[in-house]
A = this chain, B = another copy of it.
Amino acid sequence: MLSIQTAILGFLMEGSLSGYDIKTRFESSVSHFFEASFGGIYPALHRMDRDGLVTKDVIAQDGRPNKNLFTITEAGRQAFHLQLESALQPELIRSDFLLRVFFGRHVAREQFIRWLEEERDRVVEKLLNLSGLGAQFPAMEPYERKTLEYGLSQYEAQLRWVNQEIEQVREGENG
């Protein structure tokens, strides 16, 4: 499975970045299928520095902590390409929501409806975020846009499903 390291190397292929910048990149592009926290990013960067995949430049700033600017090396580029040649791994999903739906008969209808509505709201929010991102950057890199469209189609299907379920369970209410 591609790790946080591959993703970081990929971001650094476009130019030098700080750990903070990288976190922002994660959030505004791949977060709907690949998440990362500071606790994962900073140690990964230091490991990569130690291993010669990146170099670190300390930029002094006034009024805020020094910024560590990381730049990918030739060895880093090679490592990136090598990692992309590894075997494709199946995606990893763990859905709290679906497990609750699966065991739905064990809870009251009101509880079940609350789950559906909460999930619907979450999906709507993700959908707005993603489509907003698409509209905000008309010149988005084509491959990046492909993953965005993938996300949109997934969320749209989820929304259709959840709306249909809400309708169905509401009909059952008067029965």
**A interface with B by C-beta (< 8 Å):** 1-2, 6-7, 10, 13, 29-30, 32-35, 80-81, 84-85, 88-107, 111, 115, 118-119, 122, 141-144, 146-147, 149-150, 153-154, 156-158, 160-161, 165
Q: Which of A96, A100, A146 has the largest number of chain B CB atoms within 10 A?
A: A96
A34 and B99: CB pair below 8 A?
yes
Q: Is the CB of B153 within 8 A of A101?
A: no
- The answer to whether A95 and B143 have CB atoms under 8 Å apart is no
| Contact between A10 and B106, CB atoms less than 8 A apart | yes
User: A88 contacts B156, CB within 8 Å?
Assistant: no
A31's closest neighbor in chain B, by CB?
B93
Closest 10 CB pairs between A and B? Answer: A104-B143, A33-B95, A91-B95, A89-B96, A157-B157, A33-B98, A92-B94, A10-B103, A153-B157, A102-B147
CB of A137, distance to nearest CB on chain B (Å)? 14
Given contacts A10-B106, A150-B158, 7 further A-B pairs with CB under 8 A are A35-B94, A80-B106, A81-B106, A88-B97, A101-B143, A105-B142, A153-B160
Number of copies: 2
A100 to B86, CA, bound (A): 11
**A102 and B143 within 8 A (CB):** yes
B residues within 8 A CB of A2? 96, 99-100
Whether A93 pairs with B165 at a CB distance below 8 angstroms is no
Contact of A96 among B10, B91, B103, B150 (CB under 8 A): B91
A6 to B99, Cβ gap below 8 A? yes
- Check if A102 sits within 8 Å of B154, measured CB to CB: no
Bound form: Cα–Cα A101–B150 in Å: 10
